[in-house]
Amino acid sequence: MTGTGKRHFIKTFGCQMNVYDSERMAEALDAAGYAAADSPETADLVVLNTCHIREKAAEKIYSELGRLKQIKSAREKDGRRTMIAVAGCVAQAEGREILTRAPVVDLVVGPQSYHRLGDLVGEAAVNGRVIDVDFPEDDKFNHLPDRPVKRRSASAFLTVQEGCDKFCTFCVVPYTRGVEYSRPVREVVQEAERLALAGVCELTVLGQNVNAYHGEGEDGTTWSLARLLRRLADIPSVRRLRYTTSHPRDMSDDLIALHGEEEKVMPYLHLPFQAGSDRILGAMNRKHTRAEYTETVARIRRARPDIALSTDIIVGFPGETDADFRQTMDLVKEVEFAQAYSFKYSARPGTPAETMTDQVPEDVKSERLHALQALLAAQQAAFNASCVGRRFEVLFERRGRRPGQLVGRTPYLQAVHADAPDALIGQLIEVEISGAGPNSLEADILSVADTPDLASAGV
Ligand code: 5AD
Ligand code: SF4
């Protein structure tokens, strides 16, 4: 399609699945004749791709809409029209309410309708405000344009699974993203091959419950995530594979074994446990006990002793006592995480936990979060410090803040800064870790003689 002279600006909130969706929306809008704008001020269409997981995340959208209202009226004074679209999980969860609460919004579009974005914007321009938050029967991925082969970052996300059937009592995901859906293997492999052609050498395979993947295989049978990852590892220029987010219940034997067998699968795993007490895990409907979690971790570590573990933890779930919280702290001490995300419980509309009695007071939640985050920060710092003096392959992804500096990732997903020429962006390079901070590492590039990749990069 030829350009319309129009520009879009997409702002992404929330998880990696939204980052992936935003890329796909940009591609759908490219196909509808929109180019990318650098800022909302220069955009004819602004899309907010939103997150509904916690109250704070959802509230952010309304303050963002306040800012956009000013931009929209300033542009209007210059005779330029601005369409504003709310996409993502807030759109799905709140639907029409958004139109009532924020008159500035022209279009509300749920995660299942992104392929129709171009049409919906056209419709809203002609007929006024439009809302599309349906869950269609057919596969939205099929309708999105093929990912164009253009130079992109060396690391890319690839969504293979959406939705969740687990129904943890605190979580909105089963309502905003619907039931589990796995993309067929053929579709995933085609997309991976296109990305590889465009220079991507690290794929992070995404799903809300990615290890529950059960897609139709190339041979007509149902494939597990492990089998899909083995297939992706066959693509020669794919050098690194990651996957997220996994549920402890779905860490199957074949997936655990893969960590010990397939070199391309990185030694890093994000495995949320949410709470350390069995009573709270039960109330959360997590479908695993504390002992099952530690047993799963032990099996993973037997398969891949150096694996770096990450997790999600919630403090202050309704009914959580000091003793329950101590069990969360003890579990963190027992497992030792390389990094983690931790949150205060936030009541979400329509979830079972919202109406549970004995909600924990805000100041108690804050105190617990503070203590937990101090412990997690100490574990992360210790893990980072243990890497000093070691040699790793780092995938350099982009320039750093200082001139002459690049930023990349170790196999354990730590950010690494090194003084290195731009030619190394997109390359896997052997480095030696020279320093460690709380959130990142410093490294020296090893000499050309030590690093065949450097020679091929022409350095
Ligand atoms: N309150 C706080 N944290 C939540 N999460 C999900 N729902 C809530 C909620 N209602 C956290 C969980 C999940 C992560 C993505 O967000 O830890 O794993
Ligand atoms: Fe939400 Fe639980 Fe599903 Fe994760 S497993 S998306 S926390 S319902």
DSSP character string of 233-277? HTSTT--EEEEE---GGG--HHHHHHHHH-TTB-SEEE---B-S-
pLDDT of residue 448 exceeding 60 = no
Residue 164 CB–ligand 2 contact under 6 Å = yes
Please report the atom of ligand 1 found closest to the CA of residue 347: 10
Q: What is the pTM of this model?
A: 0.92
Average pLDDT on 87-106 reads 94
Mutate to test the pocket of ligand 1, among 19, 51, 54, 293 (most ligand atoms within 8 A of CB): 54
Under 8 Å between Cβ of 14 and 50: yes
Under 8 Å between Cβ of 417 and 405: yes
Give the highest mean pLDDT range of 26-40, 86-100, 117-131, 237-251. 237-251
Residues near 280 by Cβ (< 8 Å), separated by ≥ 6?
317, 319, 320, 324
User: CA 49, CA 14: separation in Å to the nearest integer?
Assistant: 8
Ligand 1 geometric centre to CA of 190 (Å): 32
Pairing mode, strands 202-206 and 155-159: parallel
User: CA 448, CA 22: separation in Å to the nearest integer?
Assistant: 38
Residues 390-445 have pLDDT tens digits of 999 999 999 999 999 999 999 999 999 999 999 999 999 999 999 999 999 999 99
Per-residue pLDDT, 139: 65
Per-residue pLDDT, 135: 74
User: CA 278, CA 288: separation in Å to the nearest integer?
Assistant: 8
Mutate to test the pocket of ligand 2, among 89, 92, 164 (most ligand atoms within 8 A of CB): 164
Q: Could you say which ligand is closest to the alpha carbon of residue 166?
A: 2
Per-residue pLDDT, 228: 98
Instruction: Please tell me the residue having the least CA distance from ligand 1 atom 7.
Output: 171
Under 8 Å between Cβ of 114 and 76: no
User: CA 149, CA 393: separation in Å to the nearest integer?
Assistant: 26
Residue 166 CB–ligand 2 contact under 6 Å = yes
3-state secondary structure of 178: coil
Ligand 1 geometric centre to CA of 314 (Å): 7
- pLDDT category at 148 given cuts 50, 70, 90 is low
Q: Could you say which ligand is closest to the alpha carbon of residue 353?
A: 1
Please report the atom of ligand 1 found closest to the CA of residue 245: 18
Residue 9 CB–ligand 1 contact under 6 Å = no
Per-residue pLDDT, 452: 53
Residue 85 CB–ligand 1 contact under 6 Å = no
Q: Could you say which ligand is closest to the alpha carbon of residue 345?
A: 1
Residues near 445 by Cβ (< 8 Å), separated by ≥ 6?
418, 419, 420, 424, 429, 430, 431, 451, 454
- pLDDT category at 197 given cuts 50, 70, 90 is very high
3-state secondary structure of 192: helix
Per-residue pLDDT, 81: 94
Could you give all domains of the chain from N- to C-terminal order, each with its CATH number? 7-132 (3.40.50.12160), 140-386 (3.80.30.20), 391-455 (2.40.50.140)
Ligand 2 geometric centre to CA of 379 (Å): 25
Per-residue pLDDT, 58: 85
Average pLDDT on 253-258 reads 98
User: CA 430, CA 427: separation in Å to the nearest integer?
Assistant: 10
Ligand 1 geometric centre to CA of 167 (Å): 12
Residues near 315 by Cβ (< 8 Å), separated by ≥ 6?
325, 328, 342, 343, 344, 345, 365, 368, 369, 372
Per-residue pLDDT, 5: 87
Q: Could you say which ligand is closest to the alpha carbon of residue 272?
A: 1
Mutate to test the pocket of ligand 1, among 18, 53, 293 (most ligand atoms within 8 A of CB): 53
User: CA 163, CA 178: separation in Å to the nearest integer?
Assistant: 5
Ligand 1 geometric centre to CA of 320 (Å): 15
Ligand 2 geometric centre to CA of 140 (Å): 22
Average pLDDT on 190-194 reads 96
Nearest to 203 by CA among 234, 163, 247: 234
Ligand 2 geometric centre to CA of 424 (Å): 38
Question: Phi/psi of residue 216, each to 5°?
Answer: -70, 125
Average pLDDT on 78-100 reads 94
Tokens 């590039």 belong to which residue?
445
